[in-house]
Structure 1
Amino acid sequence: MTRKPSRTSLLCPNCRRLISNDEPLCPYCGIRKPGSGLKNNAMVRGMSDPDLIFKVIIGVNVVMYIVSLAVSMVRGEGIGITGNPLSLFSPSNEAMLFLGASGVYPIKVAGHWWSLVAANWLHGSVLHIVFNMLAFRNLAPFVMREFGTYRLVIIFILGGVASYLVSFLAGVTFTIGASGAVCALVGAALYFGKSRGGAYGNAVYRQVSGWVVSIALFGFVVPGINNWAHGGGIIAGAGLAWALGYLERKRESQRDKFLALLCGVVTAASLLLAVFTAATTIHIR
């Protein structure tokens, strides 16, 4: 009976370069024990796949939007089908509340502190989610290229949480949407351009500054926009980018990987709690 030869090489789970599986340190990025089973499990490997990260983030937003429509209809509250394109296919406020809308009322009255996480994955109409996902799809590749996959996840999730915390402290009553998290990516790009400097950095900074001005003007012209979340997201994104660093100065580390994984786990738990809360209200009704 012929024994199958053991694997002698693998892709480093951090920098994705080919190395020997018994290396104590990756010779390229310096990660310790790159061949360990923990660092090569499917979940951790998946978080380093850019295409998968994009699909998961957009997919979760789409799924939660569909769930919100379903909850609204099952509760007998209907969905927005009017001539106003801004409110086309809108879940009810009650469905949004139970699924994790954030703000003063959900947090102080209903006690939904987890809404600081869950609200980032909810949207109020079909145009709302389309605009936010298009903005994410345009910004995320740049942030991922300059900061890395794990840091993108951290900036997006923690930046979104910070944006809703700012909204709560500012007294915003009821709010949803991924725009705060998307603005955190804008803040990260703004920091990168200013910090890096040079022709490339200055060009990035000028372009992103234009986006910031556009976001501000849009927020003051269009009613119902949560400007506190947008501003909080931009500031949080810049702060996280400063704290984490970008690849040109510092490679991603095990700390980044662990924090990204933790953000993903907390997000999943918050969304599961949101769905359970909404399902409970349907049962009671």
Structure 2
Amino acid sequence: MAGDPPSEIQIRVPPRQGGNMIHPVEVDTAPLPSSSTPTPMIYREVKHFKKWFPWLIPTFVVANVIMFLITMYVNDCPKNSVSCVAGFLGRFSFQPFKENPLLGPSSSTLEKMGALDVSKVVHKHQGWRLISCIWLHGGVFHILANMLSLLVIGIRLEQEFGFVRIGLLYIISGLGGSLLSALFIQSNISVGASGALFGLLGGMLSELITNWTIYANKVAALLTLVVIIVLNLAVGILPHVDNFAHIGGFLSGFLLGFVFLIRPQFGWVSQRYAAPGYSSISAKPKFKMYQCILWVASLILLIVGFTVGLVILLRGVDLNDECSWCHYLSCVPTSRWSCNTQPVSCLADQTSDQLTLTCSSTGKSKTYALSNATTSQIRGLCSLLCH
């Protein structure tokens, strides 16, 4: 009507995490009949950028903690070992520090619970271990570090993208980490959610790249994230850390981020939620060309990578035979530590009330006052003797 103030279309851009990401919101306008009264603006969140309630990541944390408690219950250190740490915890007490410095169960218990054991995957068709191992942890320190990281990284991502996409990103990245680990580390078992966690970090990086146009402080955000990723991967060169799981999870998550975490461009959202009567000279596409190219290329690389990886794993291929230097990606030997992680073995001689063990690698021998020693007890004592 003549004399009415024109409806005004605005896009509010509240910051996320220190003013880094722009979130368009829908605007409803209601012009009043009096020209002297300002037009009230009612803001509603656009569905493409709505905040989700994070429940899946906390559920994952609870599931990991429950699995750790079950593992410790099954471990039953007082029954299966000569000495235990924190014996007042009963069957929840920990293996000796020399055997497991992370305050956790024995390797035989982890293997029983579903740790990644390549020989069982290849020769006994237990492919489920590629997934089950990401729900197991080697000790209290291990699970604390992983679960705190999962809460910090995962909740933020689930709030932004929802439980379906982040749940798939977590699980598939964990599988990718297990797969690369199995192709390079075939003499030891592997457990932990680190591959899935690095997948979330990889997804954050590709999400920043593919949604580049809706970010403020782009370069600062990119540099910060890259530094965090590089520092975390650098930790993987220490002994007894499965950096191949980290690298496999990161690469999987990085590619998955281009597929799952793509956002519509700002111009398309503005057009879609504009009030009637407001039209643009040219219609904006929902996604930019580079986003579509990255989506297609990443999907192809994921399908090919997982297919080829599974095929060569099930054929029993050890990629260390094809890459003589790749083992340095997981451990770099120095004067302070060795990267020799070959499993220990001992010769056992059981008499009526004594057990004599001789470490095969060091030649050290020791006699224990132990009758009818179980396999778990022998393994634990062997580990202590050889370290």
TM-score range, shorter chain: 0.5 to 0.7
Q: Which residue is 2:144 aligned to?
A: 130
Q: Secondary structure at the match of 2:80?
A: coil
Alignment of 1:224 onto 2:245: no
Q: Where do residues 177-188 of structure 1 align in structure 2 (5 Å cutoff)?
A: 177-188=192-203
Alignment of 1:234 onto 2:250: yes
Question: In the aligned structure 2, how far is the partner of 1:141 from the partner of 1:69?
Answer: 27
Distance 1:158 1:188, change over 3 A: same
Q: Which residue is 1:175 aligned to?
A: 190
Q: Which residue among 94, 98, 116 is the counterpart of 1:102?
A: 116
What are the superposed Cα offsets for residues 56-114 of structure 1, whole Å, 9 maximum, x if unpaired? 10000001001111111189335535457972431111111121111423312443210
Question: In the aligned structure 1, how far is the partner of 2:158 from the partner of 2:220?
Answer: 18
Question: In the aligned structure 2, how far is the partner of 1:75 from the partner of 1:85?
Answer: 14
Paired residues in the alignment total 206
What are the superposed Cα offsets for residues 9-58 of structure 1, whole Å, 9 maximum, x if unpaired? xxxxxxxxxxxxxxxxxxx869xxxxxxxxxxxxxxxxx741x2132100
Distance 1:88 1:247, change over 3 A: same
Question: In the aligned structure 1, how far is the partner of 2:231 from the partner of 2:171?
Answer: 23
RMSD: 2.8
Question: In the aligned structure 2, how far is the partner of 1:139 from the partner of 1:185?
Answer: 7
Deviates further, 200-209 or 186-195: 200-209
Q: Which residue is 2:228 aligned to?
A: 211
Question: In the aligned structure 1, how far is the partner of 2:107 from the partner of 2:97?
Answer: 19
Q: Which residue among 63, 83, 86 is the counterpart of 2:66?
A: 63
Question: In the aligned structure 1, how far is the partner of 2:218 from the partner of 2:155?
Answer: 16
Q: Secondary structure at the match of 1:199?
A: coil
What are the superposed Cα offsets for residues 198-227 of structure 1, whole Å, 9 maximum, x if unpaired? 53443332222111111122111x311111
Would you say the 8 A contact 2:177–2:245 is kept in 1?
Answer: yes
Q: Where do residues 1-285 of structure 1 align in structure 2 (5 Å cutoff)?
A: 49-50=53-54, 52-73=55-76, 76-78=79-81, 80-82=94-96, 87-173=101-187, 174-197=189-212, 198-220=215-237, 222-248=238-264
Would you say the 8 A contact 1:103–1:167 is kept in 2?
Answer: no
Which TM-score applies when normalising by structure 1?
0.65
- The gaps in structure 2 that reach 5 residues or longer are 1-45, 82-92, 266-285, 288-387
Which TM-score applies when normalising by structure 2?
0.48
Q: Which residue is 1:265 aligned to?
A: none
Distance 1:77 1:108, change over 3 A: farther
Question: In the aligned structure 1, how far is the partner of 2:251 from the partner of 2:221?
Answer: 17
Distance 1:103 1:76, change over 3 A: same
Deviates further, 148-157 or 202-211: 202-211
Question: In the aligned structure 1, how far is the partner of 2:130 from the partner of 2:66?
Answer: 19
Question: In the aligned structure 2, how far is the partner of 1:112 from the partner of 1:152?
Answer: 26
Amino acid at match of 2:69: I
Q: Which residue is 1:266 aligned to?
A: none
CA drift at 1:141: 2.4
Structure exhibiting the larger radius of gyration computed from Cα positions: 2
Amino acid at match of 2:127: W
Structure holding more helix per residue: 1
Question: In the aligned structure 2, how far is the partner of 1:239 from the partner of 1:115?
Answer: 23
Question: In the aligned structure 2, how far is the partner of 1:227 from the partner of 1:132?
Answer: 14
Would you say the 8 A contact 1:91–1:125 is kept in 2?
Answer: yes
Q: Which residue is 2:339 aligned to?
A: none
Distance 1:245 1:86, change over 3 A: same
Distance 1:109 1:95, change over 3 A: farther
Question: In the aligned structure 2, how far is the partner of 1:155 from the partner of 1:125?
Answer: 25
CA drift at 1:137: 0.8
| Higher RCO, 1 vs 2 (CA within 8 Å, ≥6 residues apart) | 1
CA drift at 1:182: 0.3
Would you say the 8 A contact 1:146–1:248 is kept in 2?
Answer: no
- The gaps in structure 1 that reach 5 residues or longer are 1-27, 31-47, 252-285
- The structure 1 segments of at least 4 consecutive aligned residues displaced by more than 6 Å after TM superposition are none
Give percent identity, aligned residues only: 26
Deviates further, 205-214 or 155-164: 205-214
Amino acid at match of 2:75: S
